[in-house]
Amino acid sequence: MPDKLPIKTDPKNPAPAQGGFWSPFESLRTEIDRLFDELGPASWRPLARPLAGRTFGASTALIVSPAVDVVEKDDAFEITAEVPGLDEKNIEVKLANGILTIRGEKTEEKEEKDKSYHVAERRYGSFQRSFQLPEYVDADKVSAAFAKGILKVTLPKTPTAKKNDRRIEITAG
């Protein structure tokens, strides 16, 4: 019989959703977040929210994980990541042992001085996404391009990848 994990139960009042109404889905998500927090680091949590569910305005939001699209075409895979506010010098794309890793970090410092006040703000945020690549990706021809906050990584397929594709006929009965 598999080992059982201890489960803590904390009596909690349901959290009100936006608009002041209790939402069973928000309560479920909070409990799932709590479970993942107990199992490992918050960066591993699949439904992670920035900074433990606290929301900030767009100017102060830190990067948690960029939106990524993966598309398979006839001759290549394309991974497109939205990384607004970053420059190409703050992004690293690395390929090692069949794993493509995209890392980025944003640092922003702002300072205002006046006769009556002095304000200094610093914001930091980073992300990392990794993808296991199929064996038929030509690792020597992988390329990346960055423009206007969009990173596009092209992963060409090997010539033998198309030879292995064949259509299977479906018969009735």
Which pLDDT score is estimated for 35?
73
pLDDT higher than threshold 70 for residue 28:
yes
Q: Do 115 and 154 fall within a single domain?
A: yes
**Band of pLDDT at residue 94, cut at 50, 70 and 90:** very high
**Band of pLDDT at residue 60, cut at 50, 70 and 90:** very low
How many Cβ atoms sit within 10 Å of the Cβ of residue 101? 13
DSSP state for residue 90 in the 8-state scheme = G
Least confident of 7-11, 25-29, 128-132, 139-143: 7-11
- Domain, as residue range, for 93: 68-162
In a domain, residue 4? The reply is no
**Three-class secondary structure assignment of 149-165:** CEEEEEEEECHHHHHCC
Greater confidence, 146 or 29?
Answer: 146
Q: Give the residue from 56, 70, 61, 65 showing the smallest Cα distance to 83.
A: 65
Q: Do 73 and 156 fall within a single domain?
A: yes
In a domain, residue 123? The reply is yes
pTM given for the model = 0.55
Which pLDDT score is estimated for 22?
65
Q: How many helices (H) and strands (E) does the chain have?
A: 2, 7
